[in-house]
Chains A and B, each alone.
Chain A
């Protein structure tokens, strides 16, 4: 198999690239944080499918007239089919009562005859807090179990390298959401968890090939190890690309044609899938090489130097 490019040898650049993105993500986090949806922040979220162009001013007047004043920036306009912006999402800091919900529905119907029944979600502050704690736990717990599984089936270095790549993907998706001010709700957690599962899946296929090649031809020195991993990466390259392509087709179709309420969810998936494919190839395996190389029995001196840089 021809290897057009030595990925392992250039690993420094990929580490640097991912490191920079991670730092940039951290800065964005610290500056702005998440745009939390009602699942994590108490309040109400009203989704109106108007089936006609949304006029924000008119809509905000309607809410003012029923005693629920909303700022124009509390109204998000969207549309799923890409034709026109026909869906309005309104966020309230307070929790709406059932009778207020009824009033909204009645006024919406009167003002926009073509509209569908509104979709309303209300969350109490206590629940909101609990949800966010659970969300963080579930990601960490999933990572922990995957580490255990991989450590048993492979070895602990593979497990840790895989987890680093996986957390990298989860972090990139979170950074993109923080940067673009996209709403983070419960389905976002499902998306991050799917990415966690998918990214490790991708990585395992490559690790599996490395494991097999290690058995066939155990490398004598660090250069040999580098060559072996690079060979394994290129042997699995067609699979890596083709698989991410088919999953991306599915995710992109959901993004463009799927329902409005899973719009953000599929966007998170798309970002995560791309990041997952990248990190499996350019982060996980090179990381393993750098680590494994340290414990090789007979490291020649100049190679030792490279590891340290």
Chain B
């Protein structure tokens, strides 16, 4: 009996239990939950060719991505996730958001403002004359503001043109003639130009309510989208459904952990106990990684972690079976533990490397949900290697060196096996 070694083992166990019991709830609360666990929605937009039919350029898509980011931020949803996928698709994940229609409007729709010098009467009604296009939303600064007209008291949007000279030329040319303002294809205002306007400032009236003016101002400030966006896929999860999924999966994970604990204890006795303690370390470290790297936890991700529990003990099982082999080959318990651990390591590394490759491919190729699963799988492989190989091995070796438990039976080795 060597108390020093046993003390080392005991301290390790206490540290693991202490950290887990003390901080795991706190860590859990800092992990961002995906929209399938929290509720919210996932929108996928395709960047489409512009009006002239020109396909989006790489820099144009980048600009669209930036414009979408600005718009999403204006929604005020906590930790939105915006990704470019497949080269020309923009995925927006809004966990915790509730108003689908509003979000879609703000993100995907552009305030198409256009001022024209003429109109044409068609069957559908009044339409702008494309030949007499003067200026539009692209020509104004991002400082539009909703204000009340000091004389009439009506709400209007004050805008500033980037090129003041251009506006001056236009107003000079149209002095005494009418100009027409269209918003999203609808005529909102027609007015006669009284005089040339220098300084590039003007205001758009005729929108009506204060709310409409403020919305237009914020849409104009969000910047025009360089290309139209088309909503091609959407996924909505109600908040209570998300919570239900989370609770059910956590419950399933809890039962799985308990059953695996029992199985390992029956099969490998004291060694099984070591495996169970390294499993707790695995669960705890996974929490630390998710919390530390701010990885969003999704339902498939949670499933990967629960599955990871089963895979994490694999490293322990490989090692213990190897130790048993070494004892059968006539080694003493202590030397079997050391050789067994050493020989098992190569097997464990090779076998986990292949699973890791599959996870990397999933992450690389996958989108949305699959990515969440792949990240969790990668985290679970790395963490389980660390806990099973380093922590588990360390505990196992200190325990056997302590000479507290000498009989192979207590390591799940059948009587007589050692003599063979």
List A residues at the B interface (Cβ < 8 Å).
Answer: 1, 47, 49, 80-81, 98-99, 101-102, 116-124, 126-127, 130-131, 134, 137-138, 141-142, 145-146, 149-150, 153, 186-187, 189-190, 193-194, 196-198, 200-202, 204-205, 208-209, 212, 235-236, 238-239, 242-243, 245-251, 253-254, 256-262, 265-266, 269
Chain A contacts for B307, CB-based, 8 A: 194, 247, 250-251, 254, 269
Task: Known A124-B232, A145-B361, A247-B311; judge A256-B353 contact (CB<8 A).
Answer: no
Whether the Cβ atoms of B263 and A142 lie closer than 8 Å is: no
CA distance A123 to B44 in the complex (A): 9
A-B contacts, CB under 8 A, total: 236
Give the dominant DSSP class at A's interface: helix
List B residues at the A interface (Cβ < 8 Å).
Answer: 36, 39, 44, 46, 86, 89, 100-101, 104, 230, 232-241, 244-246, 248-249, 251-253, 255-256, 259-260, 263-264, 267, 299-300, 303-304, 306-307, 309-311, 313-314, 317-318, 321, 324-325, 328, 343, 346-347, 350-362, 364-370, 373-374, 377
Chain B contacts for A130, CB-based, 8 A: 86
CA distance A239 to B314 in the complex (A): 8
Residue ID in chain B nearest A250 by CB atoms: B310
Whether the Cβ atoms of B346 and A200 lie closer than 8 Å is: no
- 8 examples of A-B residue contacts, CB within 8 angstroms: A121-B235, A194-B304, A201-B351, A201-B352, A253-B256, A253-B259, A260-B245, A261-B299
Within the complex, the shortest CB–CB distance from A280 to chain B, in Å, comes to: 11
Closest 3 CB pairs of A and B: A117-B238, A197-B358, A247-B310
Whether the Cβ atoms of A205 and B366 lie closer than 8 Å is: no
Residue ID in chain A nearest B343 by CB atoms: A212
**Given A122-B235, A138-B364, A193-B361, 12 further pairs, Cβ under 8 A:** A117-B241, A121-B235, A130-B86, A149-B354, A150-B354, A153-B353, A194-B373, A242-B321, A250-B260, A258-B306, A260-B248, A269-B307
Whether the Cβ atoms of B260 and A261 lie closer than 8 Å is: no
Within the complex, the shortest CB–CB distance from A84 to chain B, in Å, comes to: 15
Whether the Cβ atoms of A243 and B314 lie closer than 8 Å is: yes
Within the complex, the shortest CB–CB distance from B28 to chain A, in Å, comes to: 18
Task: Known A149-B353, A246-B260, A253-B306; judge A262-B238 contact (CB<8 A).
Answer: no
Within the complex, the shortest CB–CB distance from A295 to chain B, in Å, comes to: 23
CA distance A120 to B259 in the complex (A): 35
Contact of B233 among A47, A127, A196, A243 (CB under 8 A): A127
Whether the Cβ atoms of B351 and A98 lie closer than 8 Å is: no
Task: Known A121-B235, A204-B354; judge A141-B361 contact (CB<8 A).
Answer: yes
CA distance A284 to B267 in the complex (A): 27
Whether the Cβ atoms of B362 and A142 lie closer than 8 Å is: yes
Whether the Cβ atoms of A119 and B252 lie closer than 8 Å is: no
Chain A contacts for B303, CB-based, 8 A: 254, 258, 262, 265-266
Whether the Cβ atoms of A247 and B354 lie closer than 8 Å is: no
Name the residue in B86, B233, B311, B346 with the highest tally of chain A Cβ atoms < 10 Å from its Cβ.
B233
Chain A contacts for B255, CB-based, 8 A: 253, 257
Whether the Cβ atoms of A197 and B86 lie closer than 8 Å is: no
CA distance A275 to B364 in the complex (A): 26
Give the dominant DSSP class at B's interface: helix
Within the complex, the shortest CB–CB distance from B349 to chain A, in Å, comes to: 9
Whether the Cβ atoms of B241 and A80 lie closer than 8 Å is: no
Contact of B351 among A138, A196, A205 (CB under 8 A): A205
CA distance A122 to B40 in the complex (A): 14
Chain A contacts for B357, CB-based, 8 A: 142, 145-146, 149, 197
Within the complex, the shortest CB–CB distance from B312 to chain A, in Å, comes to: 9
Chain A contacts for B100, CB-based, 8 A: 98, 101-102
Whether the Cβ atoms of B299 and A262 lie closer than 8 Å is: yes
Residue ID in chain B nearest A45 by CB atoms: B235
Contact of B236 among A119, A209, A248 (CB under 8 A): A119
Within the complex, the shortest CB–CB distance from A243 to chain B, in Å, comes to: 5
CA distance A106 to B240 in the complex (A): 16
Within the complex, the shortest CB–CB distance from B115 to chain A, in Å, comes to: 31
CA distance A209 to B248 in the complex (A): 40
